Structure 1
Amino acid sequence: MEQIQSYEEWIEIAQSLDSLLLFVKTDNCSVCDGLLPQVAALQSDYSLPFYMVNIADAPEIAGQLSLFTAPVVLLYKEGNEYARFARFVQMNELNKRLGELEEWGKHVD
């Protein structure tokens, strides 16, 4: 999972990819620390890129994306937010949405 360091970097990535997953965490967040490895483990099952940002390091991202808690998992399709999972992420629902994005990607190519 690649780390995003700034809002500018995020904008470049979001505009250049058809679909992606963004994992948002913050410092001293036990829920974030517990969820990150579970989400990262899914990366090998899907072709879309996974990114992570610590909003303590890039707070502008939280404001621009209207993030009020952590962790948040955001899925993007064609530059738009496709799904949002906040705080307690149900992994079966995340898997379902990732599968939808994967299928969409096959039809676009």
Structure 2
Amino acid sequence: MHTFQELKQINDINSFIEEHELAFLFISREGCSVCHSLLPQVQQLLTDYPQITAVHIRAELVEEVASRFSIFTVPVLLLFVNGKEYIREARIVHLDLLEAKIKRIYKNVVGTD
């Protein structure tokens, strides 16, 4: 299973996005049952995409994350390619559709499935 490092400062999050060609953010809140059930499923899904570097952000610990990424609900899943947002999924996430989007982008960026 793909483990996600936890980032706790907005500067670290901004640096993470800049430093990784494929940067994935999983943003959640404590007490969100959807977040807690979805996280291990997304971690498992990303094992097939080793070039994607992923982090977990707890919105209650990094309050600036809501305004920085225009977040109004959780969970929010964001994929950045070379610093630009390509995927945004929020609240109800359909894993099969998410994977199809990731696969298409991954193939274009990395050149493999």
- TM-score per shorter chain, which class? over 0.9
TM-score of the two chains, using structure 1 as the length reference: 0.92
The correspondence of residues 92-107 of structure 1 with structure 2, limited to 5 A, is 92-107=96-111
1:22 aligns with 2:25: yes
Aligned to 1:60: 64
1:37 aligns with 2:59: no
Q: Residue 71 of structure 1 contacts residue 86 of structure 1 at CA under 8 Å; is this kept in 2?
A: yes
For 2:20, the aligned partner's letter is L
CA RMSD of the aligned region, Å?
1.0
Aligned residues: 107
The percent identity for this pair of structures is 29
Q: Residue 28 of structure 2 contacts residue 59 of structure 2 at CA under 8 Å; is this kept in 1?
A: yes
Post-superposition, which runs of at least 4 consecutive aligned residues in structure 1 deviate over 3 A? Answer: none
For 2:53, the aligned partner's letter is P
Aligned to 1:90: 94
Q: Residue 32 of structure 1 contacts residue 70 of structure 1 at CA under 8 Å; is this kept in 2?
A: yes
TM-score of the two chains, using structure 2 as the length reference: 0.89
More helix by share: 1
Question: CA offsets per residue over residues 24-66 of structure 1, 9 Å max, x none?
Answer: 0001101111111110111211021111100000010111100
For 2:103, the aligned partner's letter is G
Q: Unaligned stretches of 5+ in structure 2?
A: none
Aligned to 1:73: 77
For 2:6, the aligned partner's letter is Q
Aligned to 1:12: 15
